[in-house]
Amino acid sequence: MITLTEPGGSLVRPGFRTIVTVSALVGLAFGVVWVQVMTEISAPIRGGDWLAFVVAAVALVVCERTPASWIRFGPIGVVTPIWLFGFAMLLLGSPSITIGIAALAASLHAVRYDALPSDVVARVASTAFSLAAAGLVLTTLDPTDTPTRLADRSWAWAGAVALAGVSIVVLNAFTAALWLSARRRTSFVALLRHGLASRVTAEGALLSLAPVWVIALDLNPVLLPLLAITTILVLRSTRHAFERAHEARHDQLTGLLNRRAFISAVDDALESRPRRAVVMLMDLNGFKDVNDRLGHQMGDALLVAFADRLESARPDNSSVARLGGDEFAILVPDHDADLAGLAGRLHAELVAPLSLQGFPVTAGVSIGVSQAPEDGIASSSLIRAADIAMYKAKRTRAAFSLHADCVDLPQHGRANLLGDLSQALERHELHVNFQPQLHTHDGTVDAVEALVRWDHPEYGRIPPDEFIGLAEQTDLIRPITDMVLRSATQGLMAGGLTTRLAVNVAPRSLEDPMFTDRLFEILAETRFPPSQLELEITERALARNAERTRYTVGKLRAQGVRISIDDFGVGYSSYQTLRMLDVDRVKIDREFVQGLLTSDRDRKIVASLIGLAHELDLDVVAEGVESQMVWHALRELDCDVVQGYGIAVPMTYIELRTWLSDLAELHASSTARSSIA
């Protein structure tokens, strides 16, 4: 079940801490309001401007029901013009009546905001508490001045107004931080510290207009339209400023903290004493499959649902962030308990199935854990340590891994790989291997596929799945693709091999306007015929940018380059891909091929895919052929080409030449025996 959240991202699950906080706010507000009412009874307000009071009251109620006049920002909540007109009402007439009208308006606002009953009670109590305290300040410091006649106003009145406004700002920040700390199970001090400056700016801008409204009502109502325009401009500029500030610190898709805000939170935690904090990085293992098979819309829905699950499962007083892509993080300050138990409990809650638009989706999670000060005393050190631990968990298929368990051997993480990948090209650590593709009917070579490999000087052989995905997220995919094309075509031309060459191309490359120009420059440089080149693309390329992909593919095919759809059958729009793109062949994914001998359903799927492709005059390549029996089964189904470890493993260029020579001798001897027979 996906946990529902309110617009700010907080949980809608009230608990004991929430109930206690609401009760405390109600009790505090009741006490201060009672004192204010008794004070007003003993010293009634003289000379109030009740017509202006009514005008301010109507404006207050209308604005509380009008979302366009609200200022939403940060983790500290929503600011509305209730403080502008409520404060003006305090200056114009009865504080007790002001509190009653403002409480009613706050209730209407909470209902309009679709808030929970506990939120309604908390907002009403907070409003009443702040206004009652400000009213006490005004009646205590300025009991005799008439607030509705400009000539009678004194410096004492001005000081009382300023102090009352400050009390509203401070008390609002305090009550909002207290309430949200209970609702979101986060630190009260952190919320107060980050929210106070925002409250001072937003509410201070509104409160400063209240005395101006009072004076304008006193001088001449003709000034009100001009003042209304000024107020609207202040509201709009303040709202836009805080929206930009919020976007700078939060992920737009999930509403969680972004990388910048998370690093800042880690730095703040490490500045406290004692310097104890836990950082957990996690990665969704099945996210790419969801994106490829169900589309980016479902991928985004999975990220949002996982973010909600993570928010509900996180430890108390912790911070949650989305660092980018499918990578999330949790900061648990001042924690030195059982790390394995903490990570284990979190993992158990996160791997439960999610329901996305009726689809049951299970995404595996790999968690890496680091701890200060043992694994570092800086945010960069802790995040890097957690990243290393996370990658160990992914490689070993473990639920989680502690960085303390990674220190004995050299380990790499995402940050390390990105840093080293840019230098790998200069150091010639990346190289190309080749894997042959054979015709099913006679075993002759149809093509060889170029596969990039990375031999890291410290970490050894890095699997392509670990660094190709990282390269696609940066501009490094461009030089890597160029290197593979140049190295592979040079090798084949230098050895006089005329076989077709297949190369994988990332979706990001197809979106690059300069990709085709660089490709043909490389082919001209190495004198490799475009008709002998075959580019393998995935359905994900069409999902990312359909128009650009179609344009690039058309430009390539116009020059004779062949196009193949890789991993065909597992995407969310396989038939749509065939309809929209002109291609030459499809490669059936290994998941179907490996179940060919054991699953009648897989056999029927493979047969139908081969039949469909042939109806469209497309060749068919079957990936993942691990045995002669699978080869023969595919030949019976009229598959054109086979590829897999059962035929040949990826090999260097020298090994490829030897392998091709042995294959040619094998075919020659077989032909000779057939002639003799």
DSSP 392-452: HHHHHT-SEEEGGGSTTS----HHHHHHHHHHHHHTT-EEEEEEEEEETTT--EEEEEEEE
Check residue 62 and give its pLDDT: 82
Check residue 106 and give its pLDDT: 80
Given a cut of 80, is residue 237 above it in pLDDT?
Answer: no
Determine contact, residues 339/278, Cβ cutoff 8 Å: yes
Check residue 71 and give its pLDDT: 66
Given a cut of 90, is residue 433 above it in pLDDT?
Answer: yes
Given a cut of 60, is residue 413 above it in pLDDT?
Answer: no
- Per-residue pLDDT reduced to its tens digit, 252-266: 888 888 998 888 888
Average pLDDT over residues 3-28: 57
Count the Cβ atoms, other than its own, within 10 Å of residue 74: 19
Which residues, other chains included, contact 224 with Cβ-Cβ below 8 Å and sequence gap of 6+?
Answer: 213, 216, 217
Is residue 420 very low, low, confident or very high in pLDDT (cuts 50, 70, 90)? Answer: confident
In the 8-state DSSP scheme, what is residue 5?
A: B
How far, in Å, CA of 128 to CA of 571, rounded? 57
How far, in Å, CA of 622 to CA of 567, rounded? 9
Average pLDDT over residues 72-96: 73
Determine contact, residues 528/493, Cβ cutoff 8 Å: yes
Check residue 213 and give its pLDDT: 80
Average pLDDT over residues 91-102: 84
Given a cut of 80, is residue 459 above it in pLDDT?
Answer: no
In the 8-state DSSP scheme, what is residue 651?
A: B
Domains recognised in the chain with CATH numbers: 25-233 (1.10.1760), 259-411 (3.30.70.270), 422-676 (3.20.20.450)
Given a cut of 60, is residue 342 above it in pLDDT?
Answer: yes
Packing angle of the helix pair 209-219, 188-207 (nearest 10 deg): 20
How far, in Å, CA of 198 to CA of 191, rounded? 11
DSSP 231-295: HHHHHHHHHHHHHHHHHHHB-TTT-SB-HHHHHHHHHHHHHSSS--EEEEEEEETTHHHHHHHH-
- Per-residue pLDDT reduced to its tens digit, 526-560: 999 999 999 998 877 766 677 888 889 999 999 99
Is residue 292 very low, low, confident or very high in pLDDT (cuts 50, 70, 90)? Answer: low
Structure tokens at 492: 């084949």
For the chain, percent of residues with pLDDT exceeding 70: 80
Check residue 1 and give its pLDDT: 21
Greater model confidence, 472 or 600:
600
Is 0.85 topped by the overall pTM?
no
Given a cut of 50, is residue 12 above it in pLDDT?
Answer: no
Given a cut of 70, is residue 672 above it in pLDDT?
Answer: no
Is residue 487 very low, low, confident or very high in pLDDT (cuts 50, 70, 90)? Answer: very high
- Per-residue pLDDT reduced to its tens digit, 53-70: 888 888 888 877 776 666
Give me the residues paired with residue 359 across strands: 356
Judged by average pLDDT, the poorest of 9-18, 418-427, 438-447 is 9-18
For 553-626, where are the E strands, in sequence order? Answer: 562-568, 585-588, 619-622
Average pLDDT over residues 344-370: 80
Check residue 526 and give its pLDDT: 93
Average pLDDT over residues 372-393: 82
Count the Cβ atoms, other than its own, within 10 Å of residue 491: 21
Q: Which of 453, 200, 414 is nearest to 328 (CA)?
A: 414
Check residue 563 and give its pLDDT: 93
Check residue 85 and give its pLDDT: 82
